Amino acid sequence: MKGYPLDRLHEEVAYLAYHFNWGYESLMDMEHGERHQWVEQVAAINRRLNEGG
C-alpha cells in the first residue's frame, strides 16, 4: 500500500503553519482528512479574498 506523498504532506503542513502559525506537532497529529479539510477551507477563503468578495 502506498502512503500519502511526502511532498504533498510537507506542502499541507507548510500551508497551514503559514496561515495559522500552528506547530509542526499539532499539524502532524491531525488525521490526513482533517488536515486536508483545513487546507481546503483556507484555500477557499484566499480565493474569495483574491476575487474581491
Enter the pTM of the model: 0.82
Per-residue cell: 32: 490526513
Cβ atoms of 36 and 11 closer than 8 Å: no
Per-residue cell: 27: 499539524
Could you tell me the residue ranges of all domains in the chain?
A: 6-50
Tens of pLDDT, residues 22-36: 999 999 999 999 999
HSE of 41, CA atoms in CB hemisphere, 13 A: 9
Tens of pLDDT, residues 1-53: 468 899 999 999 999 999 999 999 999 999 999 999 999 999 999 999 999 85
Per-residue cell: 9: 504532506
3-class SS at 2? Answer: coil
Segments in 1-53 forming alpha helices (H): 6-20, 24-29, 32-50
